[in-house]
Amino acid sequence: MSENQKARMVEVEDETDPDVVTRALARNDRFERNWAWLEAHATEVYGHRGKFICIAGEQLYVADSVEEAYRKAIAAHPDDDGAFTRYIPVERLARIYADRRSFVPVRANLCP
């Protein structure tokens, strides 16, 4: 096996600690609530073209940098570890998210 192949290997382990699993499921639930909020408010969110957004606590935070958007969101919702960020492109274009070896599953394009 070449060094390049070794560098691309991924080791997957099952987590069996009930506390870790419970925390992970709760974090995923918070992420899913934030994602559902984004889907319900897509028109508002995608109106911020050329900006970075962060969704936390089912609220929108907008800034000129990803760090600033995340900082605003976490300041308001320090316990929301299901927050996520996105860049809203200036132009609305069709985009293909793929890598040269395989296609990557992504969530549906929510641009209105």
Backbone torsions φ then ψ of 24, nearest 5 degrees: -65, -40
Q: Which pTM was predicted? A: 0.72
- Residue ranges per domain, the chain? 17-107
pLDDT at 2: 76
d(CA 28, CA 48): 26
pLDDT digits (tens, 9 = 90+) for 17-47: 999 999 999 999 999 999 999 999 999 999 9
How far lies 96's CA from each of 53, 58, 91, 112, in Å?
A: 21, 28, 15, 17
Q: What is the mean pLDDT of the chain?
A: 86
Quote the radius of gyration of the chain (alpha carbons, Å). 17
Q: What is the pLDDT of residue 54?
A: 97
Q: What's the confidence (pLDDT) of residue 19?
A: 94
